[in-house]
Amino acid sequence: MIKNYFAMPGIVKSMGLVFGDIGTSPIYTLTAIFLLIPPTPENIMGILSLIIWTMTILVTVQYTFLAMHLGKKGEGGTIVLKEILLPLLKSGHSVAFVSLLAIVGISLFIGDSVITPAISILSAVEGILLIPGFGLTSQFTLMILASVIAVGLFSIQVRGTEKVAWAFGPVMVIWFLSLAIAGCIALISAPQVLLAISPLYGIDYLLNNGLAGFLILSSVILCATGGEALYADMGHLGREPIVRAWYLVFIALAINYLGQGAFLITHPGSKNVLFEMIFSQMQMLYIPFLLLSIAATIIASQAMISGIFSIVYQGITTRIMPLMRIEFTSPQLRSQIYIDVVNWLLLLAVLLIIAIFRSSNNLTHAYGLAVTGTMVISGIMIIWILVLRGELVKTLIACAVLFTSCVFLVSNINKIPYGGYWSLIIAAIPLGVILIYVYGQRKLAAALRPVPLDDFLRQFNETFHSVNRISGSALFFARDFRRLPQYIPRIMFTNNIIYDDNIIVSIIRTEQPFGVTWGVTREIAQGLSIFEIYLGYMEIVDIGAILKEAGIEEKTIFYGMEDIVTGHPVWRIFAAIKRLTPSMVQFYKLPSDKIHGVVTRVDL
């Protein structure tokens, strides 16, 4: 039974794809904290208790116990919470508020995702300073090395990670084993730190240190960064492997943090706790451990990049983000995607952050604000869902967790003047783009004045029998066949371009995360059919293959384009976004030799 419960393949894969970020937090968490406060035994015991219970409450309870039980088919993430919640709401104001919450959550996640590769890679390469002969290596050299690693990591994304992803899991297993073993060895020198498992030490620390104790929570949260990945990546691996792997990862992390605490009690002058602990325990293995830590931080960064690609794709399919060109990097796994513009913008942002903050210790001042913001937003949406479902016990637990998240968020506000504003600046960019795009699409839809189906049918029946038709089939893309875009009547009635078989294709995203169904619903008039494709909002599909499977052999594919004319600065940005993004048929990669775009001029 136990053997089946801890089935190894899923657990190993989860460690490689999900736990890289939270798994590398021991590199910098205690180092950052004890650069701010003296490493007295009382402080060490209090901080260790806070770390263990932060991981327990914010990761184990919020994500593995509450959030992961909400989805229907193992899906996860902020957008998924929104899609679960929206059907339960009745008020239009509530729907708008939840949508805004989700947009802010996504933006904060992106802000966090820029800082993660920077702090992870920088903190790992700084371990070079402990190698004999490299102690005087300049910070500029370490920044260059971290930047080279980042450039290399982002450059291989276009080729996909499937070929090397098989190694991620085993590498992270070795990493977590190394952390646990090092922690056990360190515990021998000061086994009393095991008492820090009791929450009383953490509570006592907060009560005795007043405002200073409260503000140190902004550094304690570093131990939980990446916790949101447990839920966000659930759609790729399913709930069970991630939860089971987390139990093992939690034990390894807790042992290592306790071990670092024991090392600090016996070596209070330590400045880089984890690496100095490893160096003192097994000097001969220090360089292999350093290389392992760099590999682990690269894997952590890779997991975050893949998560961003997934989040952006979900944003595109739920129509809150503009269309972008997407490459499928694996013929077997459709979830393996690459988004060119996102990849290179992320790299530029990571390099900028490295150049501005220079060291991992400086970066800890910027880290945490976006993470806690995301956790608070997730907590609000979880409580809302549980209340509407009538799950009282879980609602009370979720309220306690949300209160904890809010405490951490307030403590992190102190970081804003010291670099925390950068995560907000980075998050503000996607937030602005999303809001402009969403409201621009609404304004554009109103300006385009779609044609009701009944009015269209009357004119179609007259024109179909009175003009010379073109042999073959033509496809016309429309979001809703009951309200047709203006380009379709323009082609048919103004330009008299009508085929023997005219098919209106409508791609509809459902409230379910997965599932693909399609079919010709009916021939609504002679020569005119509706072909509807229903896709789950997390589905990645080949529309061309669906059309081929349905036996549709189109001669031509028509789609609408807008030429937006405006003097308003906000709508000029919207017009620029529309010009730079691919059309729907380009997004779904339909045959380029058959595509004809029809431009409609619109005044906004």
Residue 402: what pLDDT?
Answer: 95
pLDDT tens readout for residues 98-122: 888 989 988 888 888 888 888 888 9
**Structural tokens at position 234:** 């659930």
Q: Are 217 and 205 in contact (CB under 8 A)?
A: no
The pTM score is: 0.84
Average pLDDT of the residues in 351-378: 88
Confidence of residue 165 (pLDDT cuts 50, 70, 90): low
What stretch of H or E contains 570? helix 569-580
How far apart (Å, rounded) are the C-alpha atoms in residues 61 and 161?
Answer: 31
For the chain, the domains span 2-416, 449-603
pLDDT tens readout for residues 372-394: 998 899 999 999 999 998 889 99
Give the CA angle between residues 596, 600, 604 to the nearest 5°.
145
Residue 192: what pLDDT?
Answer: 94
How far apart (Å, rounded) are the C-alpha atoms in residues 349 and 345?
Answer: 6
- 473 secondary structure, DSSP code: E
How far apart (Å, rounded) are the C-alpha atoms in residues 30 and 270?
Answer: 10
Average pLDDT of the residues in 146-175: 82
pLDDT tens readout for residues 7-40: 567 788 778 778 888 888 999 899 989 988 999 9
Cβ atoms within 10 Å of 265's Cβ, excluding its own: 18
pLDDT tens readout for residues 409-464: 999 998 888 888 888 888 899 999 999 999 998 888 888 888 888 888 889 988 88
Q: What is the mean pLDDT of the chain?
A: 85
How far apart (Å, rounded) are the C-alpha atoms in residues 502 and 474?
Answer: 5
468: left (phi over 0), alpha (psi -120 to 50) or beta: beta
- 469 secondary structure, DSSP code: P
Helices (H), 216-285: 217-220, 229-232, 234-237, 239-266, 273-281
CATH T-level fold of 2-416:
Amino acid/polyamine transporter I (1.20.1740)
Average pLDDT of the residues in 44-59: 95
SS3 of residue 18 by DSSP: coil
- Residue 162 pLDDT more than 70? no
**Nearest residue to 238 via CA among 171, 328, 335, 352:** 335
Residues in the chain: 604
Residue 6: what pLDDT?
Answer: 47
Start-to-end CA span in the chain (Å): 64
Average pLDDT of the residues in 549-555: 84
220 phi/psi in degrees, rounded to 5:
-60, -35
SS3 of residue 91 by DSSP: coil
